[in-house]
Amino acid sequence: MATSCTNDASICDSRLFNLQAILQTAEGALKSNLRTREIMTSPPTITSSSTVPAGLTKSYFPVVSGALNPASPFLITGGTPKVLSGAIGVDAATMGPTGGNLGNGEQGTLWRIILNSDATQISFLVQGYSIPYRFIVNGQYVTAGTSSSSVGGNEYLTLTFANSQMREIAIESGLGYLFIATYVGPTFSIWKPTTGKRVVFVGDSFTETTGATFAPNGYARVAGDFLGVKDVVASGVGGTGYTNNASTKYTFLQRLQDWTTNDPDMVVFAGGINDANDALLEPAVSVVLRETRRILPAVPILVLGAWSGSSGPSATIIGVENKIKAAVTAINDPYIRFIPVSTDTRGAWISGTGRVGAPNGTGNSDIYTSSDGIHPANEGHFYLGYRVAVSIYDTVFAMVKELVTT
């Protein structure tokens, strides 16, 4: 299935341009990014109210007359915007024919809504209750931790700055938390920031951010920050995989549209922990990858090995990872690459049989695996996100080197 640059120069030119752009952004972000910088030393104040603050009379809505507003100044990241009763939810994954926190089988995982503004005071109208959120200004977190909505229903979250200057401002949250509008004073403006790259992570409950104390702390969003990627789609459905549909949900193949219809610059698969180590796995992986390549001929596809919890890299997990690798190898596409996790020659990413709350000194699972013995703890998501980012960088570097010498 290998695609030669001699046979299709347009695809290879597109791949090279895309990969070089990812590489260039990542080179700086790996050293300095949102996750490594200090929080703001002179942050704006954050207040919450059930009514819009006085004087903020200029409004911007992402939804107009029940449909997405094409002139909206918001960069909505994390999935596909969905209109829900005049508000915006962000759909990252199709769980199945029914269910999902957005309804109709659609699942929101994590999102960031980003804008540029020169306002001294700006208010975000959101809908939700006791769902955490966090603000980012010019690439720095405003606070060390998250805040939770407390009003219930519609709530105005207002940032007040000491002066007027051009800033990039983002609010991040997840799950079913909905965004409605933004307000500023009459002499100020909001405009849309540059788009940047989009990377879709396809996975299970690890990608769904289970174990993280806050959805945007999930490994996929962390990896995106270390790579300088603005738009990360964490398309995870718990309990599923290449062959496992968790009885009532979809396998990866059944929800192919989750990553083939939103114009990604890269797709990263991260499954296997829920799949049986049997003869069905390798062909199932192969079909998903081949179908993704058929629909997205110029997009790089990276395939992570299987996660492990406090069982460590067990014989079953190693068997699953080897079958995933075999499927990638058999396809023989130089831009579908396998990244080992539990069979990494430098050592399995997660080792030992301990967990948070029950450490036993046998490996890093003591601090990286949550108390349930399976999913990453908050620190584990950060660690895995960093490992994923570095591995993606190394893989992209190798791809670029091969393309420029072809």
pLDDT value for 338: 98
Report the C-alpha gap between 200 and 236 in whole angstroms.
10
Reported as a single tens digit per residue, the pLDDT across 182-231 is: 999 999 999 999 989 999 999 999 999 999 999 999 999 999 999 999 99
Min mean pLDDT across 6-15, 171-180, 207-216 is at: 6-15
Beta bridge partners of 84: 87
pLDDT value for 9: 63
Read off the amino acid at residue 370: S
Q: Name the nearest CA neighbour of 200 among 176, 231, 171, 170.
A: 231
Q: Name the nearest CA neighbour of 58 among 80, 40, 39, 73.
A: 73
Start-end ranges of CATH 2.60.120.260 in the chain?
45-191
Instruction: Report how far Cα 122 is from the mean position of its chain's Cα atoms.
Output: 26
pLDDT value for 152: 65
In the block, residue with structure tokens 């599923």: 240
Confidence band, pLDDT 50/70/90 cuts, at residue 2: very low
CATH number of 9-32+196-404: 3.40.50.1110
More confident residue, 362 or 9: 362
Q: Are 173 and 180 in contact (CB under 8 A)?
A: no
More confident residue, 56 or 15: 56
Q: Does domain 45-191 have CATH number 2.60.120.260?
A: yes
Q: Are 111 and 235 in contact (CB under 8 A)?
A: no
Start-end ranges of CATH 3.40.50.1110 in the chain?
9-32+196-404
Structure token digits, residue 383:
């660690």
Q: Name the nearest CA neighbour of 175 among 210, 138, 140, 222.
A: 210
Report the C-alpha gap between 296 and 338 in whole angstroms.
18
Report the C-alpha gap between 27 and 301 in whole angstroms.
20
Q: Name the nearest CA neighbour of 204 among 217, 218, 193.
A: 218
